[in-house]
């Protein structure tokens, strides 16, 4: 009897979730708080490894932000950051790049050495904390949130980007399109 209930419960959950999905947002509209495109992501305050305090809401109407979750032991992050390091400098004055370490056991010294070894210029690095990781549902390295000037998410995803993909994302953030 119990075994028959499990498939029924699973099917019910699928039906309910399929029927209750949010309508897609137009580019001009901003939805309520959330983690989907067009929504305002959770605010946070974090200190970079250089001691600079960053509060996400301070950048609204100012500068778009690329929020990137990574770890020093991740080969995909090394590849992804290795590609973006040659592209980001031309967008650094228009887009903030904040790399948050999702491995909360990695300290500022380790992160600093990683950044220096990889020759990552202009990128702000910060130690992660459980609150941010939880608020942003981060479970994968290379997770990216592109947050526009209006404070809404314009892109979210994960995985290694090609040079062309980085160009499109950073240019889109810089130009507001």
**CATH number of the domain where residue 83 is located:** 3.40.30.10
Q: What is the mean pLDDT of residues 108-130?
A: 95
pLDDT, position 106: 96
State pLDDT tens for residues 132-156.
999 999 999 999 999 999 899 999 9
Contacts of 77 (CB under 8 A, 6+ apart): 70, 71, 141, 142
Residue 20 lies in a domain: no
Residue 12 lies in a domain: no
Please state the domain count of the chain. Answer: 1
Residue 119 lies in a domain: yes
Residue 5 lies in a domain: no
Averaged confidence pLDDT in the chain: 85
- Which has more confidence, 120 or 29? 120
Task: Assign 15 a pLDDT band (cuts: 50, 70, 90).
Answer: very low
Domain that holds residue 83: 30-175
Give bridge partners of residue 104 from the DSSP assignment. none
Residue 79 lies in a domain: yes
């Amino acid at each position: 009897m119990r075994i028959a209930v499990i498939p029924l419960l699973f099917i019910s959950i699928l039906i309910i979730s399929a029927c209750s999905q949010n309508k897609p947002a137009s580019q001009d509209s901003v939805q309520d708080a959330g983690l989907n495109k067009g929504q305002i992501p959770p605010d946070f305050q974090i200190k970079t490894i250089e001691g600079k305090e960053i509060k996400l809401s301070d950048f609204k109407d100012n500068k778009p932000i690329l929020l990137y979750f990574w770890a020093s032991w991740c080969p995909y992050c090394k590849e992804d950051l290795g590609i973006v390091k040659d592209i980001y400098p031309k967008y650094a004055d228009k887009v903030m790049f904040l790399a948050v370490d999702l491995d909360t056991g990695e300290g500022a010294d380790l992160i600093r050495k990683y950044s220096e070894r990889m020759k990552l210029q202009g990128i702000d690095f910060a130690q992660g904390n459980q609150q941010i990781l939880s608020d942003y549902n981060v479970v994968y390295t290379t997770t990216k949130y592109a947050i526009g000037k209006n404070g809404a998410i314009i892109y979210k995803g994960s995985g290694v980007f090609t040079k062309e993909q980085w160009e499109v994302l950073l240019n889109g953030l810089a130009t507001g399109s």
